[in-house]
Chain A
Amino acid sequence: MNDIKDHSSARSRISTTITYLVMIFFTVMALYPLFWLILSSFKTTTEFQMNKLGFPRRWVTINYKDAWVRGKFPVLIANSLFYTTVTTLAILLLSFMAGFGFSKIRHKATAVLHGSFVIGILLTLQSIMVPLFLIVNWVGLYNTRLGVLIPYIGIGMPMGVYLGTEYIRSIPDALVESARIDGASYSHIFWRIIVPMAAPVGMTVAILTVTGTWNEFMLINILTSSDALKSLPVGVQKFAGALSTDYGKQFAALTIGLIPMLLFYLIFRKEITKGVAAGAVKG
Chain B
Amino acid sequence: MAKVRTMADARREQRRAYWTLVLPGFLLYISVMAFPTIFSVVLSLTNYNGGKLFGGRVPIELVGLKWYQRLIVDEYFYLALKNNLWIVMVSVFGQIPLGFFLAYVLYRGLVKGRDFFQTMIYLPTVISTVVIGILWKSFFAPHGAFPELMRFFMPGYEYSLSQHPMIPVLFVILWMYSGMYMIIFIANLQKIDNTIIEAARIDGASEMQVLRYVILPALSGVIVVTAILAISGSLKSFDLIFIMTAGGPANRTSVLSIYMFDKAFKGAPNYPLANAISTVMVIISFFLIGLTKFAENKFGGRE
Partners in one complex: yes
Q: Determine if B29 and A117 form an interchain contact, defined as CB atoms under 8 angstroms apart.
A: yes
B-chain residues with CB within 8 Å of residue A94 when the two chains form the complex: 24-25, 28
- In the complex, B257 has a CB within 8 A of chain A: yes
Residues of A within 8 A of B32 (CB): 128, 132, 150-151, 153-155
Residue on B with the closest CB to A235? B130
Known contacts A107-B15, A150-B28, A250-B134, A123 near B126 by CB under 8 Å: no
Q: Inside 8 A of A37's CB, which chain B residues have their CB?
A: 131, 135
Instruction: State whether A27 and B121 are in contact (beta carbons under 8 Å apart), knowing that A36-B145, A97-B21, A261-B127 are contacts in the complex.
Output: yes
What A residues does B190 contact at CB under 8 A? 277
Q: Are B37 and A127 in contact (CB under 8 A)?
A: yes
Return the chain B residue nearest A260 by Cβ.
B128
Q: How far is the CA of A281 from the CA of B125 in the complex (A)?
A: 19
Centre residue among B106, B183, B274 by max chain A CB count within 10 A: B183
Q: Is B39 an interface residue (CB 8 A)?
A: yes
Q: Decide if A123 touches B282 in the complex (CB within 8 Å).
A: yes
Does residue B89 face the partner (Cβ distance < 8 Å to A)? no
Closest chain A residue, CB of each to CB of B126: A265
Q: How far is the CA of A97 from the CA of B118 in the complex (A)?
A: 33
Given contacts A20-B111, A126-B264, A127-B36, contact A281 B130 (CB under 8 A): no
Asked if A52 meets B180 with Cβ closer than 8 Å, knowing A23-B111, A215-B128, the reply is no
A105: which B residues are within 8 A, CB to CB? 14, 17-18, 21
In Å, the complex CA distance between A36 and B131 comes to: 13
- In this complex, how many residues of chain A approach chain B with their Cβ under 8 Å: the count is 90
B 261-276 binary contact with A (CB < 8 Å = 1; else 0): 1001000000100110
Q: Quick check: is B94 within 8 A (CB to CB) of the other chain?
A: no
Cβ < 8 Å to A, chain B residues 9-44: 10, 13-15, 17-22, 24-26, 28-37, 39-40
Query: Is B303 in contact with A282, judged by CB distance below 8 angstroms?
Result: yes
Majority secondary structure of chain A interface residues (helix, strand, loop or mixed)? helix
**Given A120-B33, A127-B37, A258-B128; A281-B188 close (CB under 8 Å):** yes
The residue in chain A whose Cβ has the minimal distance to the Cβ of B110 is: A19
Q: Which chain A positions have C-beta within 8 A of B123?
A: 30-31, 34, 262, 265
* A35, B117: Cα distance in complex, Å: 16
Q: Which residues of B contact A157 (CB under 8 A)?
A: 25, 28-29, 33
Is A61 positioned at the interface, with any CB of B under 8 Å from its CB? no
B76, CB-defined interface residue at 8 Å: no
Taking a contact as CB atoms under 8 Å apart, the answer to whether B120 and A31 are in contact is: yes
Within 8 Å by CB of A280, from B110, B222, B274, B303, lies B222
In the complex, A67 has a CB within 8 A of chain B? no
B236 on interface, CB distance cutoff 8 Å? yes
Does A140 touch B at the CB level, under 8 Å? no
Judging by beta carbons under 8 Å apart, are A282 and B222 in contact?
A: yes
Contacts of A130 in B (CB 8 A): 264, 271
- A195 proximal to B (CB < 8 A): no
* Inter-chain contact A186/B17, CB cutoff 8 Å: yes
Contact B121 A283 (CB under 8 A): no
A30 contacts across to B, CB distance below 8 A: 120-121, 123-124, 175, 179
Report whether B239 and A281 are in contact in the complex, using a CB–CB cutoff of 8 Å.
no
Contact with A along B66-88 (1 / 0, CB 8 A): 00000000000000000000000
Q: CA separation between A190 and B22, bound complex, in Å?
A: 13
A240 close to chain B: CB less than 8 A: yes
Contacts of A111 in B (CB 8 A): none
Stretch of B136-144, B161-169, B193-201 lying at the A interface:
B136-144
**The 10 nearest A-B residue pairs measured at CB:** A154-B32, A277-B187, A101-B21, A128-B36, A127-B278, A94-B25, A131-B36, A186-B17, A215-B128, A101-B22
